[in-house]
């Protein structure tokens, strides 16, 4: 029986999410990706791994799940579209679905 492992979004997946057809903003997208992963890890109090969790990892470590990947894509796409906080309509620093997708993975040490 094979186990499916999920990876962090690739640059091609991010470009598809943002509907980008060129390489002009690859550096910016990579910065957004790293920030989104960091934000997801901070929100959940976890460290995400793609292939396997090392033996010496902290107890909160987990593999990337599909909804974690979607939350990261959602954040990157949002930041790409909303580059400024100044607008006539209400803007959020992170899309509302981001937290909803990650809530079930929050690690709260007791």
Q: How far, in Å, CA of 5 to CA of 86, rounded?
A: 39
Q: Report pLDDT for 1.
A: 46
CATH number of 11-105: 1.10.3230.30
Contact in structure between 58 and 50 (CB atoms under 8 Å): no
Contact in structure between 67 and 44 (CB atoms under 8 Å): no
Q: Report pLDDT for 86.
A: 58
Q: Collapse the DSSP code of 100 into the 3-class scheme (helix H, G, I; strand E, B; otherwise coil) and give the result.
A: helix
- Tens of each residue's pLDDT in the chain, 110 residues: 457 789 999 999 999 999 999 999 999 999 999 999 999 999 999 999 999 999 999 999 999 999 999 999 999 999 998 876 655 566 667 778 999 999 999 999 87
Q: Report pLDDT for 91.
A: 62
């Amino acid at each position: 029986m094979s186990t499916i492992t999920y990876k962090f979004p690739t640059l091609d997946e991010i470009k598809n999410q943002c509907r980008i057809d060129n390489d002009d903003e690859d550096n910016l997208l990579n910065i957004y990706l790293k920030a989104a992963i960091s934000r997801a890890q901070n929100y959940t109090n976890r460290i995400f791994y793609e292939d396997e969790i090392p033996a010496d990892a902290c107890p909160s470590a987990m593999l990337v799940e599909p909804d974690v990947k979607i939350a990261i894509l959602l954040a990157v796409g949002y930041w790409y579209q909303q580059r400024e906080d100044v607008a006539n309509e209400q803007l959020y620093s992170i899309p509302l679905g981001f937290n909803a997708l990650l809530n079930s993975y929050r690690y709260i040490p007791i």
